[in-house]
Amino acid sequence: MKYRRIFADGYSYYLTMVTHRRKPLLIEHIDILRDAFRHSKKRYIYKIDAIVILPDHIHMILTPDISTDYPKIISSIKRYFVHHLDEEIKAKAKTELSASQYDRNSSGIWQERYYEHTIRNEKDFIEKIKYMQSNPVKHNLVDTMDQWKYSSFY
C-alpha cells in the first residue's frame, strides 16, 4: 500500500525531519539551519506554530498558506542546509551511503523521508506540543524544557 499525504488548506502539520544515521549536525550548524528556514520563508508562505531542534532531528508544527507547499518547504530547508555545509562534511556523509542511496544521489545528510501528521483538532495540537516540549528532556539534553534554547518554547 502506498502512503498518501493529506493536503487540506487551513490545516497544520506536525513534521519530523531526521538526519541520516542520526548524525548530530543540527545544533552544531544552527546558523545554517536558521538561514535555511529564512530562505524557505522567502519562497513559501507558512507559519511555524511550534518548533524544537535537537542535534539530530527537528519537530515542528507548520501551517502553510497552501497545503501542497509543505513538502516543498521541507525540501527547500533540507537542500539549503546541505548546500551550505562544509564540503568536508558532505564528502564524509557520501562515504557512508549504501549503494542504492548513492545511486539515488542521496546527500547522506538527511533521511530521505520525513514524518508528517495532519493536526485534526485542538486536542491533537496540544498532544503534539506536549511531546515537543518533553523531547529535549527525554533525550537527556536538559533537565527542564525551559533550559533548551533551540525551540519556540525557550
Residue 102 annotated in active site: no
Residue 80 is predicted with a pLDDT of 97
For 21-76, the pLDDT digits (tens) are 999 999 999 999 999 999 999 999 999 999 999 999 999 999 999 999 999 999 99
Helix (H, G, I), strand (E, B) or coil at 19: strand
- Residue-range domain boundaries for the chain: 13-147
The CATH classification number of 13-147 equals 3.30.70.1290
Find the catalytic residue in 13, 46, 80, 150.
150
For 91-121, the pLDDT digits (tens) are 887 777 676 675 566 678 999 899 999 999 9
CB atoms within 10 A of CB 12: 24
Residue 93 is predicted with a pLDDT of 78
